[in-house]
Structure 1
């Protein structure tokens, strides 16, 4: 059985292990004097979404070459099927990320500490959330996981940024060793489970119909990304069932109420309300969080109470669809999640990420498939 291998003893060993290849790359940058401080390094990494090897310092160019190859077990057909699923249900996947996977990651009381420190030391919560959503699109857009694709480049960049964050936090003097190593292998495996298993669970709760084959294809895409991002093969789940067992083990080991997790959850809800137009959707992110996460985890995170009557009578009534849907809340939630997802994506497209950062990018084919307007 898959769940027998995710023991406390096994996972605890990986709480104290980082990513030697990426960590050494960052150390070389500082050792050679090519980056004066951690903030300068972070700016260098995020200035362009497309990293161009011949414009980067030698350690970065070497890192890109060493980490760009897909694993031998990568299946192009499964990747294509995973992309097709995202093409069909992309807005719902974004809602599942915002209202399920991300807040679930904030419930891990030890792992959330690095996210909280990073939001204070290197970036702001809105920007970090946008970059997380951008990675979701980059990986699953058509061709994203082909050689040189946006998904490969995005994974390489995030992996290197993780190493920079580890360096920054360990130098800050604010890290408690009881939390484990910053962005350790167990937490990386948990993040992979969030992007794959947790997003699929959330999509199903939002009314998406996914076959077992489609779920496996979606997971395969993220397993490939996990390889590119430096997960130790021993903590890289083998299939969706194995990933579910990993997610359950991490929840058992780490889900606790924490001020940091609650603060980041508030920021996530605020961003969702900020980027969606007007006040029609205010409070909806919190309601959907409770719907996806369940009451126990939602209470850990102090998610505001749900107000389904308001939300089902508001946006759906505006569309003229409420009359025959209110008697079946599951159907109404499905329609509402699709609408909210499209408005959330549109809002991120129009939102300014900052002078030194490219705008939120969605390929034209996905915009057409999702009926999303934008730049």
Structure 2
């Protein structure tokens, strides 16, 4: 059962292992050296670089393995689900999950104080990269790339906590720890439970087993991110209940959230040429998120495009029912799901500082099926613990800035 007192206590809990590493690196002026080494540390089975300080090496060793209770068969099933529906997951993540993150006033304020309000391309690419690495084949085992992604994310979260709490611009007593474990649980539920709900709202069929397995991978990921395992519901049903009781209940309007959403919509709208499609992106957001959230974030409401998108969702449901018997239906669904992600990748890698790299196995599977949103793998996403920003010299990834995994 949900323990409100225990969940509230997570508001004041950070990540002691990662926090100690960052505090030491800052005190000894070794952040830039570690950044340079970690930039080339990308594979699960890659040896830990010898030139890293002992404290960093100890952290990487201590956080290298998934929890003992991980069920690799369930992880493999989730991978199969993502092979089939990964482009749809990505579309809902971009249309809905990002906006739901902005509906968390405290998380939006963290984002404002670290990244500023005008970098939606970076937040989108880093969030997408996290999910791509998580859903690659054998993400937690040999040949995968996700374990270093998790470890770097923990250090970035710790960097945000350190620089915000020492900047004089964050009141821990009143607001809790920035990027606290409570926020981490909330973001995990947004990116798992609420993404599945969003897929169903646009007509994508997801079985209960697929939904449960997808959430399970996120639960394993949460444990590796340092979230106390007792704070992560075991079952999908319990996760849904927690999402409703504490995550959605915490949504609300804020000036930061409104501005962040506007910048995000501007980014998406640039993917559609001319003026004829103005309003379609906002209509897609309104189809995926709750109407109240859309209103709080001041997402424009076009009745015309709203009807088009709603009709499209019904069409997708009809096509889904015919997928097994219709190659044409399958092609339409996959192309529709890849459109936004493909456009985002082209935009994000066109002169921007961040890139999106699709794991080789997913790229090959999607390319064979004709659904890969990019013609070839892009370069690796850069992770930096000491980037320029409003809080010097702090930095935040998408997950850090939104107080969650990404």
TM-score (ref. length: structure 1): 0.84
Match of 2:11 in 1: 15
Match of 1:73 in 2: 69
Q: Is the 8 A contact 1:104 1:194 kept in 2?
A: yes
Q: Is the 8 A contact 1:206 1:337 kept in 2?
A: no
Match of 2:383 in 1: none
* Match for residue 50 of structure 1 among 27, 39, 42: 42
Alignment gaps of 5+ in structure 1:
314-324
Higher relative contact order (CA 8 A, sep 6+): 2
Range 351-360 or range 131-140, more displaced: 351-360
Match of 1:241 in 2: 237
Deviation at 1:139, TM superposition (A): 0.4
Deviation at 1:232, TM superposition (A): 1.2
Tell whether 2:182 aligns with 1:165.
Answer: no
Tell whether 2:301 aligns with 1:305.
Answer: yes
Q: Is the 8 A contact 2:125 2:354 kept in 1?
A: no
Match of 1:5 in 2: 2
Distance 1:278 1:49, change over 3 A: farther
Deviations, residues 106-138 of structure 1 (Å, cap 9, x unaligned): 1112232212222229x9332122101111111
Mapped to 2, the partners of 1:75 and 1:170 lie a distance apart of 38
Mapped to 1, the partners of 2:160 and 2:365 lie a distance apart of 32
* Match for residue 331 of structure 1 among 303, 315, 318: 315
Helix, strand or coil: the match of 1:145? coil
Mapped to 2, the partners of 1:100 and 1:42 lie a distance apart of 35
Mapped to 1, the partners of 2:163 and 2:343 lie a distance apart of 32
Q: Is the 8 A contact 2:83 2:366 kept in 1?
A: no
* Match for residue 264 of structure 2 among 257, 262, 268: 268
Deviation at 1:193, TM superposition (A): 0.4
Distance 1:311 1:59, change over 3 A: farther
Mapped to 2, the partners of 1:339 and 1:283 lie a distance apart of 21
Tell whether 2:224 aligns with 1:228.
Answer: yes
Match of 1:251 in 2: 247
Range 244-253 or range 204-213, more displaced: 244-253
Distance 1:253 1:372, change over 3 A: closer
Tell whether 2:114 aligns with 1:113.
Answer: no
Deviations, residues 293-320 of structure 1 (Å, cap 9, x unaligned): 121111111111145548849xxxxxxx
Mapped to 2, the partners of 1:128 and 1:238 lie a distance apart of 29
> How do residues 86-125 of structure 1 correspond to structure 2 at under 5 angstroms?
86-120=82-116, 124-125=119-120
Mapped to 1, the partners of 2:56 and 2:365 lie a distance apart of 31
Tell whether 2:122 aligns with 1:127.
Answer: yes
Helix, strand or coil: the match of 1:345? helix
Distance 1:331 1:110, change over 3 A: same
Q: Is the 8 A contact 2:202 2:313 kept in 1?
A: no
Deviation at 1:176, TM superposition (A): 3.0
Deviations, residues 134-153 of structure 1 (Å, cap 9, x unaligned): 11111012222324622222
CA RMSD of aligned residues (A): 2.9
Alignment gaps of 5+ in structure 2:
320-331, 377-406
Q: Is the 8 A contact 1:68 1:147 kept in 2?
A: no
Helix, strand or coil: the match of 1:110? helix
Match of 1:31 in 2: 27
Helix, strand or coil: the match of 2:91? helix
Match of 1:319 in 2: none
Helix, strand or coil: the match of 1:359? coil
Distance 1:201 1:46, change over 3 A: farther
Distance 1:207 1:116, change over 3 A: same
Distance 1:266 1:239, change over 3 A: same
